[in-house]
Structure 1
Amino acid sequence: MAEPVALPTTTDCVNGEEKKEVKLEDLFGDVDSDDEFPSLRPKQQTPQSSSSDAPSSPTEIGPIGKASDPEVLRMFYQRLFPWRHLFQWLNHAPTPTNDFAHREFALTLRSDAYLRYRSFPTSDLLRKEILQLLPVRFEIGPVYTTNPRDRKQMKNSSAFKPLAKELCFDIDLTDYDDIRTCCDQANICIKCWSFMTMAIKVIDVALREDFGFKHIMWVYSGRRGAHAWVCDKKTRAMDDQKRRAIAGYLEVVRGGAQGGKKVNVRRPLHPHLSRSLDILAPHFQSDILSIQDPWALDDRSEHLLSLLPDSGLNASLRAKWNSSPGRASAQKWADIDALAKSGASKSLDAKALLEAKQDIVLEYTYPRLDIEVSKKLNHLLKSPFVVHPGTGRVCVPIDTRKLENFDPLAVPTVQQLLSEIDEWKGEEGKGMQDWEKTSLKPYVDYFRTFVLALMKDEKDPRVKRERDEDSMEF
């Protein structure tokens, strides 16, 4: 089984012809300069002192408030947020284009006010508005036919429509509450994060191998989920019909949280499902049967029996489990084959049992997508690197090359990052950006590598022509 393609590590793709015209740094002035904000301490109401009384070095921040506190957010957006890379990612070029200027941003304020159709000619203006309003989060929408702020001035309102946006996927662990046993609702642990690891593996390889997409970025949502941003040029231009087709192709688990069979797939299995089973089978044995132990309780084991095709076999299994209280899920799963081979049911169809077991594996391991996020061109999604107001964790990109090692509980919080800046003792720190002094650095480095590879692809005339001419058929 092919593994997800590792992202290239291009570091010079923004050089060359553009370098003669403008440097990337020139677009941002001193946005990332440490000298612009020499101290992390929130301003205190203290008596005015003379310059001779000023400390010779930056003061420590002291006790740090909640992640959603205005001063905490202000310091984060001033000192740590990767504005330059965000601009490059959305703009697809070193100089400003309509890909950025006509892009919609939506801001959620602390008052719960929701400001839509914000747009900005440059990254610096976006940054200034964020620092002025200090939203608890902001979302990214599509690129429109014109500046979203000017939509009401258009004589023909129907002419204002979305043109392009990344294809996005949203996976949330609350959709696994009927099968995860370690946590529920907004709570997560490293045990149930394995569901997210499985989901990323399956969706990522399908997008790459079945659709030929290349620039796919996964982002931790800050609490209990992950988002995928498929950024290829041909992907961004897809209409709603094509987006719905891809979402439908990837959707396998259907139905509500309670009861019922959630997987009903045709036979013979589609190659995507066969490949997914190959990816998921080891996880089913270790993460599901051993760690989650999903059928330890009687009501849950009854659900397992409801998914099997033979009433005679079900009766034998129920009797065996009733006589052995506390039997582990791994043993119950093995009992299915053992009793089937023993002739417990004379009417058992071996092929139907195999297919039922495959469906069960898919129900307990296959990604559970919020496909509404994927189906509409005009859907907005939370920006990478914002701070989750509940956990304080930064919504960082996930390096799929090290997917098994990603621990959501180890993702830095904004309070931790601000403390790390104060604790920095490196002699070379004067010329460094603040995020380079913190545990946010590997995530920003990964994002930068991803963005540079995307920009390089956008510049390639051959790739550009092929993607402009490509019309994906379904």
Structure 2
Amino acid sequence: MSAVAHPMSTDEAAPPPVFDVGSPDFPVLLRAFYDKLFPFQTYYDWLNYGAPEPTKVFQNREFSFTIGDDIYIRYQSFRDRDTMKSEFLRLCPSKIDIGAVYTTRPRDKKSVLPGAFQPTEKDLVLDIDMTDYDEIRTCCQGGDICRRCWRFMTVAMHIIHAALVEDFGFRHIMWVYSGRRGVHCWVSDEQARQLGNDGRRAIVGYLEVIRGGSNQERKVNLPAQLHPHLIRSYGIVRQHFADLVLNQQEVLREPEQWQRILRIIPDEDPSGLS
């Protein structure tokens, strides 16, 4: 990997609908996809970090597959690109999960002592779900996505991308559609891959401004003196707020929507200004 993969333009449409996995044609289409369309060389180059020959970061990487009737298979690993392609064509997974790099090949997990099979590194992955915007989007709810609410995703991507590059100095960043209801950000810099749990939580905490969840009211918590990251983020949001939130989503059109917005705004003014 080399250059930064910039987030998609806010003018892009939402991703196309996913094929119906319950369709009788799905297994045939899936095999044709892996046989003719799946970018195995690019996929391999990415997970081997551009090295010309297979390295341990590829060979000791765990892959997990969902196949058939939701059968989940863990601890898959491959010697090289060709063995990976053969196994993909044999199993035709409907879902692929990419896991950590281990001290030994995940396929050999049962043949080594438990203490000898430990994770050594993993890409930093940030997940943005469209459902996080259900309180302020009026066009869709749940896993549904349309062109209008997809703009929330692109605004979030620009904010997070700027923080990762300008504040943390990461360079090897890739944004991908999650396949369902949002986007994933993969950060593959060596420093990011070797972060421990505390370091990963610290980055998430740095980016977080909304506290709360499904069992409590969400609140925006901003300090009186804004961090430069928040000032930059405010500038990005301001470019889109009027058109996206007020005009397209019309969040202030109905009393119910007013109350929803007010619930995520704290009563206190941290600046002391009224």
TM-score, length-normalised on structure 2? 0.86
Aligned partner of residue 219 in structure 1, secondary structure: strand
Pair 1:213–1:159, CA change in 2 (3 A): same
Structure 1 residues 12-411: aligned runs within 5 Å: 66=23, 69-92=26-49, 93-155=51-113, 157-257=114-214, 260-305=217-262, 307=265, 309=267, 351-352=271-272
- Structure of larger gyration radius: 1
Pair 1:154–1:70, CA change in 2 (3 A): same
Pair 1:69–1:249, CA change in 2 (3 A): same
Conserved in 2, the CA contact under 8 Å of 1:168 and 1:230?
A: yes
Conserved in 1, the CA contact under 8 Å of 2:135 and 2:260?
A: no
Aligned partner of residue 188 in structure 1, secondary structure: coil
TM superposition shift of 1:239: 1.6
Residue number in structure 2 paired with 1:435: none
AA partner of residue 89 (structure 2): L
Residue deviations 1:10-41, cap 9 Å, x none?
xxxxxxxxxxxxxxxxxxxxxxxxxxxxxxxx
Larger relative strand fraction: 2
Aligned partner of residue 191 in structure 2, secondary structure: helix
Aligned partner of residue 105 in structure 1, secondary structure: strand
Structure-2 separation of matches of 1:134 and 1:73: 7
TM superposition shift of 1:134: 1.1
Structure-2 separation of matches of 1:283 and 1:184: 20
TM superposition shift of 1:137: 1.4
Structure-1 separation of matches of 2:158 and 2:24: 31
Unaligned ranges ≥5, structure 1: 9-64, 311-348, 355-474
TM superposition shift of 1:288: 0.5
Residue deviations 1:358-394, cap 9 Å, x none?
xxxxxxxxxxxxxxxxxxxxxxxxxxxxxxxxxxxxx
Structure-2 separation of matches of 1:158 and 1:77: 36
Pair 1:160–1:132, CA change in 2 (3 A): same
TM superposition shift of 1:309: 3.4
Structure-1 separation of matches of 2:24 and 2:219: 38
Aligned partner of residue 191 in structure 1, secondary structure: helix
Pair 1:185–1:309, CA change in 2 (3 A): closer
Conserved in 2, the CA contact under 8 Å of 1:309 and 1:352?
A: no
Conserved in 1, the CA contact under 8 Å of 2:64 and 2:75?
A: yes
Conserved in 2, the CA contact under 8 Å of 1:177 and 1:257?
A: no
Q: Which runs of 4+ in 1 moved over 2 A?
A: 5-8, 65-68, 256-261, 302-310, 349-354
Conserved in 1, the CA contact under 8 Å of 2:5 and 2:174?
A: no
Aligned partner of residue 218 in structure 1, secondary structure: strand
Structure 1 residues 455-466: aligned runs within 5 Å: none
Conserved in 2, the CA contact under 8 Å of 1:108 and 1:138?
A: yes
Residue deviations 1:228-252, cap 9 Å, x none?
0001122112122211111111122
Conserved in 2, the CA contact under 8 Å of 1:166 and 1:235?
A: yes
AA partner of residue 179 (structure 1): I
Aligned partner of residue 169 in structure 1, secondary structure: strand
AA partner of residue 191 (structure 1): R
- Tell which has more relative contact order, 1 or 2 (C-alpha 8 A, sep 6+): 1
Aligned partner of residue 228 in structure 1, secondary structure: strand
TM superposition shift of 1:7: 5.2
Percent identity, aligned pairs only, is 47
Aligned partner of residue 198 in structure 1, secondary structure: helix
AA partner of residue 226 (structure 1): V
TM superposition shift of 1:308: 6.0
TM superposition shift of 1:290: 1.1
TM-score, length-normalised on structure 1? 0.51
Pair 1:87–1:153, CA change in 2 (3 A): same
TM superposition shift of 1:222: 2.7
AA partner of residue 132 (structure 1): R
